[in-house]
Amino acid sequence: MTGTAGALAFLITRTTWNRIARQIARVKSPRYALALLAGLGYFWLVFARPGGTSRAAVASGFAPVMGSLAGIGLTVTVLVWWLGGGVTLALAFQPAEVQLLFPAPVTRRGLIAYRILRAQVLLLVSCVIWALLMRRWGVTIGAPLRFATAWALFSVMSLHRLATALVMVPPVLGGRRLLRWTGRMTAVAAILALVVGVGPELRRFGDLGFADGMRAVGAALTVPPASWALAPARLILAPLYATTPGAWALAFAAVAGVIVLHLGWLFAMDVEFEDVAATASAELAKRIAVFKSRRAGGVAIVRPGKVTRDWLPLEPVGLPAVAIVWKNTISLIRTGIVRTVMILAVILVVTSRLLSSTADGGGGAALALPFAALALVIFALGPRAVRNDLRQDLLNLASIKSYPLTGAAVVAAEMTSPTLVLTLLQLMMVVAGYFTMPASARTALGGGPTAALVVLTPVALLALNAMTIGIQNAAALIFPGWVRLGPDSGGIEAIGQTLLVTIGSMIALLLSLIAPALAGSVVFVLAKPALGVTAAAPAIAAGLVVLAAEIALLVSALGRVFARTDPTAIT
């Protein structure tokens, strides 16, 4: 092995080994070990449990459907590479690779070989997951063959994308110009073949109905001219349909041949791709940062030039903690959550109007159920999605701790924005649900209960959301290692960690509701002889008072934790 090849091989093997070693080392920590177990349990339930095995899938005829869909997906993907822009992103290297390898005495073919081999490492890992998924989709071949099939399939796609990217590197001259023209013409011909083959069936789709329409489209895809367009995809998907090892070996050999041809194509080209690769690397790094940021906190990195108008005023004097609420609300505006809320509001209003216009014939209060269900979903999942609080700001803890505010003031201010947003969302659901009910159902509620609902609902939602957000913030502050505060490495243990934190938060919420429920029950029992069922109103009010007291205690306690938290402890 030459010096350069040896160095590149060292880079790949050490990087892979160090990553594995780091994962193993993390599992020594009970926290990660527990999270890994939870993650593996989740993984097993979703992908590998005995239920829903291949036989059932085969019996239901699911496998051929998935095969057809996969064929179309692969074909469309390749067409986009040839006809659309952006394929040069396939030439992206990691920032450190650009910095160290591009100026190093490595040939372009060496860099391409390195790029292919590095991709293989990730590809092999994902093939394990795909092999499991294939089993659930009804592919009957054994596990090692499923793994090999997945590897061959993704290798072909990966190599073809890389080769297409090299063809597209400007300036496209000589042989590459001919290649680009041929590729694009083939892509156009494939589109025409698909349109001519499937178009008539699509036009008849409405008359045939969904099931028959799908069957007709499926049949059209198997005969010329549409089958010509799908022929390459069918070739590399063929091992999936093999029912015997012999048939599989033949199909796999064909795909292996395609791989060899692609390798030959790649190494035959000698393209000056460095400039394009450096640009693609920077773009990819930016996209990864945005993705990680979104995954970390539901708050994306705001792309430059997309700053929205400054419509949220902030007076320079007044309660200082309001500045944090303002800042966190700006964060929501900038990251599109407010826009989503507005779109949701419009959809809800339109839907409720449509439903109420057809509700005279029946349905009654049941029409409000979808909105109630949505409000519940927001209550359950909202606090994990809307994270413009300490979960976002703990990464700036050093800065925030220097502010002239008490710990409790910071915690209360941090909790305010997500609490208000979630409450607003749920109130929209409640209002939409109420007005969706027919007038007769609304009248049946009576004036007193309606007035009590109008007063108590916003307060109750506010208190419940404050408690759920408080619990999420408490988890972040007390157990920062357990809550995703920023970009992390992901992996199975990260999934397990999320599961455990979710379960822990739910238990904490249930515990926090015991005292309010008791207080409410006592008031109800005492007031019922005098007030009848309307005793529910003072009972709920009493429960809310106790809940508010608990929230105040929580904020005070978290304030003390915040004050003594060392920024270096937050990772």
CA distances from 357 to 63, 193, 307, 347, 350 (A): 44, 46, 40, 15, 11
Site residues for other proteins, 470-489, by CB under 8 A, read none
Q: Least distance from C-beta 330 to other proteins, angstroms?
A: 6
CB–CB of 462/430 below 8 Å?
no
Which C-beta is closer to other proteins: that of 323 or that of 499?
323
Please say which residue, 156 or 333, places its beta carbon nearer to other proteins: 333
By C-alpha distance, which of 236, 24, 61 is closest to 137?
A: 61
The C-alpha atoms of residue 349 and residue 428 are separated, in whole angstroms, by: 9
Inter-residue contact 463 to 422 (CB < 8 Å):
no
| Interface segment toward other proteins; rule CB under 8 A; list 21-29, 82-90, 115-123, 320-328 | 320-328
With CB under 8 A as the contact rule, the residue among 6, 52, 170, 320 that binds other proteins is: 320
> Which residue in 219, 307, 380, 381 binds other proteins (CB under 8 A)?
307
Q: Report, in Å, the least distance between residue 479 CB and other proteins.
A: 20
- Nearer residue to other proteins within complex by CB, 14 or 303: 303
CB 391 to other proteins: min, Å: 14
Instruction: Determine, following the binding rule CB under 8 A, whether residue 309 of this chain makes contact with other proteins.
Output: no
Min CB(298)–other proteins separation in Å = 12
- Three-class secondary structure of residue 138 per DSSP: coil
Q: Identify the residue among 455, 511, 567, 571 touching other proteins (CB under 8 A).
A: 567
Peptide bond connecting 144 to the previous residue in cis, omega within 30 degrees of 0? no
Helix (H) or strand (E) holding 206: helix 205-208
Minimum CB separation from other proteins for residue 450, in Å?
Answer: 40
Nearest distance, CB of residue 32 and other proteins, angstroms: 21
Candidate list 50, 207, 310, 447; residue touching other proteins; CB under 8 A? 310
**Residues between 372 and 431 with contacts to other proteins, criterion CB under 8 A:** 396-399, 401-406, 409
Residues 6+ apart with CB under 8 A from 114: 8, 11, 12, 101, 106
User: What DSSP character marks residue 209?
Assistant: -
The token pair that represents 65 in the structure block: 């459907």
Contacting other proteins (CB under 8 A), which of 84, 174, 315, 361? 315
| Backbone torsion region of residue 362, taken as left when φ is above 0, otherwise alpha when ψ lies between -120 and 50, otherwise beta | left
Alpha carbon of residue 111 to chain centroid: 32
Tell which one of 323, 338, 344, 349 touches other proteins (CB under 8 A): 323
Candidate list 1, 173, 211, 317; residue touching other proteins; CB under 8 A: 317
Number of residues that bind other proteins (CB under 8 A): 40
330, 355, 386, 452: residue in contact with other proteins (rule CB under 8 A) = 330
Between 175 and 567, name the residue whose CB sits nearer to other proteins: 567
468 binds other proteins (CB under 8 A): no
Provide, rounded to whole angstroms, the least separation between the CB of residue 568 and other proteins. Answer: 7
What single letter denotes the amino acid at residue 557? Answer: A
Residue with Cβ nearer other proteins (374 or 485): 485
Neighbours of 13 (CB within 10 A): 12
Closest CA to 498 of 29, 22, 39: 39
Q: Which two tokens stand for residue 149?
A: 């099939």
CA-CA distances (angstroms) from residue 304 to 46, 102, 328? 39, 28, 19
Q: Is 4 left (phi over 0), alpha (psi -120 to 50) or beta?
A: alpha
Q: Directed axis angle between helix 369-385 and helix 407-436, to 10°?
A: 160
**Owner of token pair 């007035």:** 451
Q: How far is the CB of 272 from other proteins (least distance, A)?
A: 29
3-state secondary structure of 308: coil
The closest of 468, 151, 409 to 400, measured between CA atoms, is 409
Name which position in 318, 361, 362, 532 contacts other proteins (CB under 8 A).
318
Residue 462's CB is within 10 A of a number of other CB atoms, namely 21
Nearer to other proteins, 206 or 316 (CB): 316
Q: Is 47 in the site for other proteins (CB under 8 A)?
A: no
Which residues in 281-300 contact other proteins (CB under 8 A)? 293, 299
E-only strand ranges, 135-284: none
Distance between CA atoms of residues 464 and 470, nearest Å: 10
* Alpha-carbon distance values, 11 to 96, 100, 170, 502 (Å): 11, 11, 29, 38
Smallest CA-to-CA distance from 129 within 44, 235, 240 is with: 44
Q: Find out whether 410 and 400 touch, Cβ atoms under 8 Å.
A: yes
Query: Cβ 417 to other proteins, closest distance in Å?
Result: 12
- State in angstroms the smallest separation of the CB of 301 from other proteins: 6
**Shortest Cβ 481–other proteins spacing (Å):** 17
Site string for other proteins, 538-557 (x = CB under 8 A): --------------------
Q: Is 302 in the site for other proteins (CB under 8 A)?
A: yes
Q: Is residue 144 close enough to count as binding other proteins by CB under 8 A?
A: no
Least spacing, CB of residue 398 vs other proteins, in Å: 5
Determine, following the binding rule CB under 8 A, whether residue 331 of this chain makes contact with other proteins: yes
In the complex, the smallest distance separating the C-beta of residue 563 from other proteins, rounded to whole angstroms, is: 7
Residue with Cβ nearer other proteins (263 or 288): 288
> Rule CB under 8 A: which residues touch other proteins?
293, 299, 301-305, 307, 310, 314-318, 320, 322-324, 326-327, 330-331, 334-335, 396-399, 401-406, 409, 563-564, 566-568
